Structure 1
Amino acid sequence: MEAAMWTYQHSIETAAAPEAIWRLWADVDGWGEWNAEIEKIDFRGPFAVGAGIAMTPPGEDPIELTVVELGEGEHFTDEARFGGLVLRTTHRLVPLGPGRTEVVYRMEISGEGADQVGPEIGPGITADWPDTMAALVAHAARG
């Protein structure tokens, strides 16, 4: 039997330097400067596999994330676990040619009941991605 999974992906093209975007991602304590969905962040780093992040959305309880994959300057994946569910978000930089980069966010919700729960919670979690990613690349472009 195939494991249940819900996925969503959003991407944006930018002329911002990939190094500038990576610096913003690696500066976890500064995520709130460009992500309006973060009221408070508690980073237990360095920015590497195993790092812990407690991210608090406005008016909500903190969400515990762990960095589970990281390719320096290219991608990182964080993971949150709620009961039998695993929420994995991959953030990736894809070179498109001189001066162009694609920024990709992909969420996968897997585990027990993911095919039912994913469509219920996933869209709410990812709804702000277009705005957040636009703010990220604008922030990176400003340097």
Structure 2
Amino acid sequence: MWEYEHSVETTATPEALWHHWSTVAQWPEWNEGVEKIEIDGPFQAGSVFTMTPPGDEPLRMRLTEVVPGKLFTDEMDAGDFVVRTVHSLEPVTPGTTRVTYRTEISGPAAEQVGPQIGPAITADFPDVVAALVRRAEG
């Protein structure tokens, strides 16, 4: 398995952060890694979304877990490997929230594929989380 995690603490409320996560159509406004996105249903477990990174092919992903105000997990199943990203919110102190993005690549091909694609998938996490925080604090 390959894994990577990035966390930031913010004064943004979990409600403000959650609003930006759950309003999928607005992701391209604050996430430079998303050129276009469409979700086939509500922001809940089982819904599928198609995300197009700038200059790349669209990726189909499924929401596998959604706990409003706390976390959501998306998953891309590529057959011999699965890319799973958990996006979570955790109160640290009154008025402070920790935002964490954690990606795991698992499956039979994970040891081979993970080191190749994992860093590319997660390279923008610091920028994406910073943009989310700025927007939610605003």
Q: How high is the TM-score relative to the length of structure 1?
A: 0.94
For the aligned residues, what is the CA RMSD? 0.7
Q: 2:68 aligned with 1:72, yes or no? A: yes
Match of 2:22 in 1: 26
Question: What are the superposed Cα offsets for residues 58-78 of structure 1, whole Å, 9 maximum, x if unpaired?
Answer: 111101110001111100100
SS of equivalent to 1:89: strand
Matched, 1:52 2:40: no
Query: Aligned partners of 1:59 and 1:24: how far apart in 2?
Result: 24
Task: In structure 1, list runs of 5 or more residues that go unmatched.
Answer: none
| Structure 2: 5+ residue stretches without partners | none
Q: Tell me by how many angstroms 1:115 deviates.
A: 1.2
Rounded to whole Å, the distance in 2 between the matches of 1:89 and 1:69 is: 10
- The sequence identity of aligned pairs, in percent, is 53
Amino acid in structure 2 at the alignment position of 1:81: D
**Count of equivalent residues:** 138
Displacement over 3 Å in runs of 4+: none
The one-character-per-residue Cα deviations of 1:57-110 (angstroms, maximum 9, x if unpaired) are 011110111000111110010000112111000000010011100000000100
Distance in 1 between the 2:59 and 2:109 partners?
A: 20
Q: Which amino acid aligns with 1:64?
A: R
Matched, 1:43 2:39: yes
Structure 2 residue aligned with 1:118? 114
1:104 is the counterpart of 2:104: no
